[in-house]
């Protein structure tokens, strides 16, 4: 199902006293109505990234299955990352353990919990203007430009540097068949034999 994005406008009336004129402030945010998510995309520049070139930059490269996705964690700057458990099936580079916990940029968190953080990626003063009814029923999703929704028990080629998926969707290619892998963000397909 395709994500439906529409502009969500929160209009907040502010004023110190009832006798003063109230002002309107409009905060545009993107909302995924299918998932009750407010979406923020972290813009990143990606050069033309080929799997063979990416192999030179990483500590590990392996084919593995995504076994568990944990609740998102917060970077110091308020961005989100998601820990995942992966079972390694075939090693291409490095010496990874059979079972690994790795991270990928992006994730979601309940909006009411996210607003309580000391530092948020989105201006906290704007987030605090969102009504409680929205805060308690929506999540905030902060993802990098090159992002896709990973599937449990799916097999991927993982490019890992410092326990992080390297270059977002470019570093996590879905295994489509015995010799075919695909970047789920760009839809570009490659032969597994070509990346070894």
pTM score, whole prediction: 0.81
pLDDT in tens, 44-81: 999 878 999 999 999 999 999 999 999 999 999 999 99
Q: Which residues share a beta bridge with 165?
A: 160
Instruction: Provide mean pLDDT across the span 125-150.
Output: 90
Please give the angle made by the CA atoms of 73, 6 and 141, to the nearest 5 degrees.
Answer: 0
Whose tokens are 């916990």? That residue is 101
Per-residue model confidence (pLDDT) at position 194: 82
pLDDT bracket for residue 29 (50, 70, 90): very low
Q: What is the number of residues in the chain?
A: 196
pLDDT over 50 at 7, yes or no: no
Domain ranges of the chain: 5-195
pLDDT bracket for residue 33 (50, 70, 90): low
Per-residue model confidence (pLDDT) at position 97: 96
Let me know: does 120 contact 114? Beta carbons within 8 Å.
Answer: yes
Return the structure tokens found at 3. Answer: 């994500």
Q: Which residues share a beta bridge with 11?
A: 26
pLDDT bracket for residue 25 (50, 70, 90): very low
Q: Which is nearest to 3 in space by CA: 157, 143, 192?
A: 143
Whose tokens are 């209009």? That residue is 11
Return the structure tokens found at 91. Answer: 């090693």
Count CB neighbours of 86 within 10 A: 25
Strand pairing report for 60-69 and 155-161: antiparallel
The per-residue b/e assignment along 134-162, b for 16 or more CB within 10 angstroms, e otherwise, is: bbeebbbbbbbebbeebeeeebbbbbbbe
Q: Which is nearest to 161 in space by CA: 77, 68, 94?
A: 94
Q: What is the largest CA-CA distance in the chain?
A: 73
pLDDT over 70 at 21, yes or no: no
pLDDT bracket for residue 100 (50, 70, 90): very high
């Amino acid at each position: 199902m395709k994500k439906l994005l529409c502009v969500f406008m929160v209009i907040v009336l502010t004023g110190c006293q009832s006798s003063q004129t109230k002002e309107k402030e409009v905060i545009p945010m993107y909302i995924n109505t299918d998932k009750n998510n407010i979406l923020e995309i972290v813009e990143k520049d990606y050069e033309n990234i080929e799997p063979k070139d990416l192999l030179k930059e990483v500590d590990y490269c392996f084919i593995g299955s995504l076994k568990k996705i944990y609740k998102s964690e917060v970077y110091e700057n308020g961005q989100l990352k998601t820990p995942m458990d992966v079972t390694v099936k075939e090693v291409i580079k490095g010496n990874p353990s059979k079972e690994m916990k790795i991270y990928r940029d992006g994730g979601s968190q309940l909006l009411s919990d996210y607003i309580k953080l000391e530092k948020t990626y989105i201006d906290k003063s704007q987030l605090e203007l969102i009504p409680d009814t929205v805060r308690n029923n929506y999540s905030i999703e902060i993802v990098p430009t090159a992002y896709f929704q990973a599937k449990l028990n799916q097999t991927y080629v993982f490019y890992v540097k410092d326990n992080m998926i390297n270059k977002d969707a470019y570093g996590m290619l879905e295994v489509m068949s015995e010799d075919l892998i695909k970047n789920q963000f760009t839809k570009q397909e490659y032969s597994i034999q070509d990346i070894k």
